[in-house]
């Protein structure tokens, strides 16, 4: 979505501005390459943007080991606006505000005493209040927001609707992006939370340099974001990456999706906590479960290692199909990565081709609980359009 000041610019000037917005601070030479414009045309566009107060220039270190002209880096200024990423999780809401040079300015998060699946309207109201508060932290208002990227724990269709109402019945009648936009005003782009996770990790985090990447969000449920050949892959109905609903036990319990023995019932946070609370009734969340496991509690350790094995089984087919270079573990349960890694690799080894398993690296994400909100910032910046 092109914001107003960009729409008012001339074609080449707008092209340079949109490139700075999507790619962040760049040198003149990089802008020539990224825009496909000539050096004089880029220089003229930067002059126009500077006259409008929309771009600033920073001189860096010498470009060669021995002397040389310092490289000038161009970036969009605060006058150009801010981007907002919103993560509406099942039990939390997180908001991140960044400027258009990709620098995080402020962040707030709040846990809820209700499940977003049951009360989506209340979650969006909280997101609205947190957005206003986070903007106020940096002396900004809604009028400064160029766009908002919204992540929710549900698959989203290409037109922004919930693609699987059985998984999130409370959201089924909503168009999440439009619902938040009606409250806030700026354009809102809704996306699945794991898709935003793979986007943020691929741009700024543990997935940098990987064209083929799987981001697995291990939280209340289990979901995956897929990057294939450098592009975010959503699938025709928006359900690509719903690894939590891969069957790992054909005779297992019935899942909320209607199938039996889904991975989510073996490795999802909700299921793990239900099992752990049999022995530890006061267990509050996954962080508590992981702490007990790290302290040597045999039951909690077994729950996590079994979850890793089942996750490996479920990912085996995916590894065979898309042959990723890296699997990134994110979400609350990723804090247990040292316990998850070996059983996950054993599960992969039993279900995927050896050459594919040997080619994939399993790592913990760099952004933990912030990955979805940062991915929302990326979408608001327009990075999704050029990823």
Contact 299, 330 (CB under 8 A): no
Q: What is the pLDDT of residue 21?
A: 93
CATH superfamily of 81-197: ATPase, nucleotide binding domain (3.30.420.40)
Domain boundaries, the chain: 4-79, 81-197, 207-365
What stretches of the chain show up as alpha helix (H) in DSSP?
Answer: 4-7, 11-23, 28-35, 39-51, 120-137, 176-184, 193-204, 264-267, 269-279, 286-294, 298-322, 337-351, 354-359, 371-381
Residue 96 β-bridge partners: 85, 107
Q: What is the pLDDT of residue 115?
A: 80
Q: What is the pLDDT of residue 164?
A: 76
d(CA 207, CA 366): 9
Q: What is the pLDDT of residue 1?
A: 36
Contact 227, 209 (CB under 8 A): no
CB-based contacts of 208, cutoff 8 Å, min separation 6: 202
109-138 in b/e form (b: 16+ CB < 10 A) is beebeeebbeebeebbebbbebbbebbeee
- Identify the CATH assignment for 4-79 out of 1.10.1060.10, 3.20.20.140, 1.10.10.10, 3.30.470.10: 1.10.10.10
Q: Kindly compute the dihedral angle of the four CA atoms of residues 240, 242, 247, 252, in this order, to the nearest 10 degrees.
A: -160
Residues in the chain: 387
Q: What is the pLDDT of residue 67?
A: 46
Measured N-to-C along each axis, helices 269-279 and 298-322 cross at an angle, to the nearest 10 degrees, of 160
Candidates 162, 223, 219; CA nearest to 198 is 223
Output the tens digit of pLDDT for each of the chain's 387 residues: 345 666 678 889 999 999 999 999 999 999 999 999 999 999 999 999 999 999 999 876 444 444 456 678 999 999 999 999 999 998 899 999 999 999 999 999 999 988 887 888 999 999 999 999 999 999 999 999 999 999 999 889 888 888 877 777 778 878 999 999 999 999 999 999 999 999 999 999 999 999 999 999 999 899 999 999 999 999 988 889 999 999 998 898 999 888 999 999 999 999 999 999 999 999 999 999 999 999 999 999 999 999 999 999 999 999 999 999 999 999 999 999 999 999 999 999 999 999 999 999 999 999 999 999 999 999 999 985 433
Same fold, 81-197 and 207-365: yes
CATH superfamily of 207-365: ATPase, nucleotide binding domain (3.30.420.40)
DSSP for 52-111, written as a single string? TT-EEEEEEEESSSSS-PEEEEEEE-GGG-EEEEEEE-SSEEEEEEEETTS-EEEEEEEE
User: Is 143 exposed, middle or buried (CB count within 10 Å of its CB: 0-12, 13-18, 19+)?
Assistant: exposed
Q: What is the pLDDT of residue 256?
A: 86
Query: What are phi and psi for residue 147, nearest 5 degrees?
Result: -170, 165
SS3 330: strand
């Amino acid at each position: 979505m092109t914001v107003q000041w960009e729409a008012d610019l001339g074609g080449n000037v707008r092209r340079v501005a949109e490139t700075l917005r999507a790619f962040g601070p760049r040198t003149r030479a990089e802008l020539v390459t990224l825009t496909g414009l000539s050096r004089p045309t880029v220089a003229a566009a930067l002059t126009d943007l500077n006259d409008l107060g929309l771009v600033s220039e920073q001189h860096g270190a010498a470009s060669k080991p021995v002397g040389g002209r310092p490289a000038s880096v161009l970036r969009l200024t605060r006058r150009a606006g801010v981007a907002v990423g919103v993560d509406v999780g099942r039990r939390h809401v997180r908001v991140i505000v960044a400027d258009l040079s990709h620098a995080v300015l402020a962040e707030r998060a709040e846990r809820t005493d209700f499940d977003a699946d049951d009360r989506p309207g209340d979650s969006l109201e909280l997101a609205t209040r947190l957005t206003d508060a986070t903007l106020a932290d940096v002396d900004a208002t809604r009028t400064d927001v160029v766009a908002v990227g919204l992540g929710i724990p549900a698959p989203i269709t290409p037109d922004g609707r919930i693609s699987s109402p059985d998984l999130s019945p409370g959201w089924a009648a909503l168009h999440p992006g439009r619902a938040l936009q009606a409250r806030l005003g700026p354009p809102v782009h809704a996306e699945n939370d794991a898709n935003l996770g793979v986007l943020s990790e691929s741009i700024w985090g543990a997935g940098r340099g990987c064209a083929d990447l799987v981001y697995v969000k291990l939280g209340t449920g289990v979901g995956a974001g897929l990057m294939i050949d450098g592009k975010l892959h959503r699938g025709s109905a928006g359900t690509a990456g719903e690894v939590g609903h891969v069957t790992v036990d054909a005779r297992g319990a019935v899942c909320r999706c209607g199938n039996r023995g889904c991975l989510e019932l073996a490795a999802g946070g909700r299921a793990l906590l239900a099992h752990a609370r049999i022995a530890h009734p006061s267990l509050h969340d996954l962080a508590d479960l992981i702490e007990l496991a790290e302290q040597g509690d045999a039951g909690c350790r077994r729950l996590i290692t079994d979850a890793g094995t089942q996750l490996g089984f479920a990912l085996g087919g995916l590894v065979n199909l898309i042959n990723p270079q890296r699997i990134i573990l994110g979400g609350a349960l990723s804090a247990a990565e040292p316990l998850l890694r070996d059983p996950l690799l054993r599960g992969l080894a039993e279900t995927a081709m050896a050459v594919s398993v040997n080619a994939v690296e399993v790592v913990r994400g760099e952004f933990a609980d912030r990955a979805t909100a940062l991915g929302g910032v990326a979408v608001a910046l327009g990075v999704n359009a050029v990823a």
